[in-house]
């Protein structure tokens, strides 16, 4: 398929995603109605328990389990809506550090080590970034920051959780605010029999606390536009020479970079640059890999076979397994490629081809295993990007349908659970002669519930119909 044909097909795919956004929004409203029904029940429960009216019966009713599921479903639907509402198809680049993923991104975007840091240059990626094509010759970025609560929940909390699992250290309770974290007394490792992991985790946590004054003011900041020469200070841990450390990245949730791609014909794509997975801090491996499910449509794994020998190692399998689990319900084999980075001198070419043949035997199942030089812009485009885009143009709709079908099944189960729970509640209360509370009758609550349950059921059926139609599409294969 030609570059122009690929570009046109991608535009068509993005347009076809829009009707799904409307349906997902309708589903969100229905789920919210279910949540409202349980919230009203919880309110009545509190009133009757407080008034000691059949309090034992009310205490026996537990709505928290199904309510938590509904809240999680709302968040899941919001991510799904964001995915289908994007104006681009996104390709994420993942891998262990020092494998060539930054070189690949540089080759595909025309950016340099001044915007996309490489480990070989003595400085490494610290923050997640998305790189978009735009027609202007100007390169700039938009920086999005964590607020204080997001910072605590997504960055600091995983350290406390992991440290309490791996060591008897008296770490104390998780700080409720950034101010509390700044004053927390972190334990030393003296007289403790602990493994290297615990020492590393505690040192990383200390670094966040030690440098808090350097980046604290950025937490909660509004979106900030920065020029090309400033980008490195927000995405990297060090300067190009490695002699100056940056701390801004600790407060950064996402950097969106806008530049003119060499392959300008295909403009409706974006590339996601993720930190090398053995460089990032505790909790971010899971968080970043999971973001692939909501931030990208296709994953490129990058692996650099050593010139002196070596093959697939446990870290490769761990990364693949982690991504596979995080991307569920999407089948990773249908939405990923493995890139074996061939040195420009060709010294590792033989090993690249041997590993290409043996990938499946080692449990690496991707749509294809490609051998190419990531540092060569022509090879990166012709052997990696164009084949990936061609595959996406032909198969992304089938992958979308598979994703929607999985969500349909989840909604079906949740809808039935919610309905069954409310019916059981009604039976318990009816048998106890309860059901005519002055605040709101149960018949009204159930009436609202039935309306939302019906609306959700209608949406589920529409997704099922779309899935059945999608089954007639050509199915992608995997290696």
Going by C-beta distance under 8 Å and a sequence separation of 6 or more, which residues neighbour residue 90?
Answer: 130, 269, 270, 271, 272, 295, 296, 297, 298
Q: Report H helices in 133-268.
A: 148-151, 157-166, 178-183, 196-210, 212-215, 232-235
Domain boundaries, the chain: 3-83+402-470, 88-146+220-375, 150-214
Please say whether the structural domain 88-146+220-375 has been given the CATH code 3.90.230.10. Answer: no
User: CA 26, CA 456: separation in Å to the nearest integer?
Assistant: 8
Strand partners for 341: 372
Per-residue pLDDT of the chain (479 residues; tens, 9 = 90+): 788 888 888 888 898 888 888 888 888 888 888 888 788 778 877 877 777 666 777 777 788 888 899 898 898 889 889 889 999 999 999 888 788 988 999 999 999 988 888 766 444 778 889 999 998 889 999 999 999 999 999 899 988 988 887 766 677 889 999 999 999 988 876 544 455 667 878 888 999 999 999 999 999 999 999 999 999 999 988 887 778 899 999 999 999 999 999 988 878 899 998 765 554 454 556 566 656 666 789 999 999 998 766 678 887 887 788 788 777 778 889 999 999 999 988 889 999 999 999 999 888 999 999 999 999 999 999 999 999 999 998 898 888 888 888 888 888 888 888 878 877 777 776 666 655 443 344 455 555 555 555 555 555 455 456 545 544 444 434 44
Output the pLDDT for position 457. 52
**Residue entry with tokens 């189960």:** 413
Output the pLDDT for position 468. 57
Output the pLDDT for position 434. 57
Output the pLDDT for position 473. 41
DSSP 254-319: EEEEEE--S-TT--SEEEEE---TTTSPTTHHHHHHHHHHHH-SEEEEEE---TT-----HHHHHH
- The sign of the dihedral angle between the CA atoms of 393, 395, 398, 402 is negative
What stretch of H or E contains 399?
helix 386-431
The answer to whether the CB of 32 falls within 8 A of the CB of 421 is no
Output the pLDDT for position 246. 94
Burial tier of 304 (Cβ tally within 10 Å: 0-12, 13-18, 19+)? buried
User: CA 388, CA 254: separation in Å to the nearest integer?
Assistant: 25
Tell me the pTM. Answer: 0.82
R_g (Cα) of the chain, nearest Å: 26
Going by C-beta distance under 8 Å and a sequence separation of 6 or more, which residues neighbour residue 181?
Answer: 152, 156, 175, 208, 209, 212
User: CA 303, CA 312: separation in Å to the nearest integer?
Assistant: 9
Give me 227's structure tokens: 């020029």
The strand order across the sheet containing 269-273 reads 224-227, 140-145, 252-259, 129-133, 269-273, 89-94, 298-303, 336-341, 368-372
């Amino acid at each position: 398929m030609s570059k122009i044909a690929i570009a046109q097909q991608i535009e068509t795919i993005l347009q076809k995603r829009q009707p799904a956004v409307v349906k997902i929004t309708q589903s969100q409203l229905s789920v919210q109605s279910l949540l409202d029904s349980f919230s009203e029940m919880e309110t009545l429960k509190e009133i009757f328990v407080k008034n000691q009216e059949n309090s034992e019966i009310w205490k026996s009713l537990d709505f928290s389990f199904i309510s938590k599921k509904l809240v999680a479903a709302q968040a899941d639907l919001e991510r799904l809506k964001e995915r289908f509402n994007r104006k681009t198809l996104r390709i994420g680049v993942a891998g262990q550090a020092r494998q060539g993923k930054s070189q690949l991104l540089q080759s595909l975007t025309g950016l340099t080590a001044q915007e996309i840091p490489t480990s070989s240059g003595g400085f490494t990626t610290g923050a997640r970034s998305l790189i978009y094509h735009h027609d202007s010759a100007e390169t700039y970025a938009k920086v999005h920051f964590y607020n204080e609560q997001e910072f605590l929940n997504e960055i600091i909390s995983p350290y406390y959780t992991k440290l309490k699992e791996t060591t008897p250290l008296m770490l104390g309770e998780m700080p409720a605010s950034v101010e509390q974290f700044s004053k927390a007394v972190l334990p030393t490792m003296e007289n403790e029999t602990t493994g290297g992991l615990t020492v590393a985790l505690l040192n990383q946590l200390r670094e966040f606390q030690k440098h808090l004054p350097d980046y604290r003011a950025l937490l909660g900041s509004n979106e900030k536009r920065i020029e090309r020469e400033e980008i490195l200070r927000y995405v990297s841990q060090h300067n190009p020479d490695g002699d100056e450390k940056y701390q801004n990245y600790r407060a950064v949730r996402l950097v969106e970079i806008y530049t003119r791609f060499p392959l300008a014909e295909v403009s409706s794509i974006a590339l996601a640059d993720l930190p090398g997975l053995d460089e990032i801090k505790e909790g971010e491996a899971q968080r970043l890999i999971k973001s692939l499910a909501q931030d990208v449509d296709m994953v490129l794994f990058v692996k650099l076979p050593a010139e002196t020998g070596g093959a697939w190692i446990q870290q490769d399998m761990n990364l693949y397994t982690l991504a596979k689990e995080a991307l569920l319900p999407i089948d990773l084999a249908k939405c990923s490629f493995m890139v074996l980075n061939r040195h420009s001198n060709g010294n590792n070419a033989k090993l690249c081809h041997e590993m290409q043949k043996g990938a499946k035997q080692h449990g690496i199942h991707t749509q294809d295993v490609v051998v190419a030089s990531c540092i060569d812009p022509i090879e990166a485009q012709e052997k990696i990007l164009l084949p990936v885009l061609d595959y996406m143009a032909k198969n992304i709709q089938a992958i979308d349908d598979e994703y929607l079908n999985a969500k349909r099944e989840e909604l079906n189960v949740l809808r039935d659970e919610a309905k069954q729970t409310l019916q059981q509640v009604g039976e318990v209360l009816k048998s106890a002669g309860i059901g005519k509370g002055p605040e709101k009758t149960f018949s009204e609550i159930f009436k609202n519930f039935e309306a939302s349950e019906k609306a959700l059921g209608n949406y589920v059926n529409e997704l099922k119909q779309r899935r059945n139609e999608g089954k007639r599409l050509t199915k992608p294969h995997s290696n």
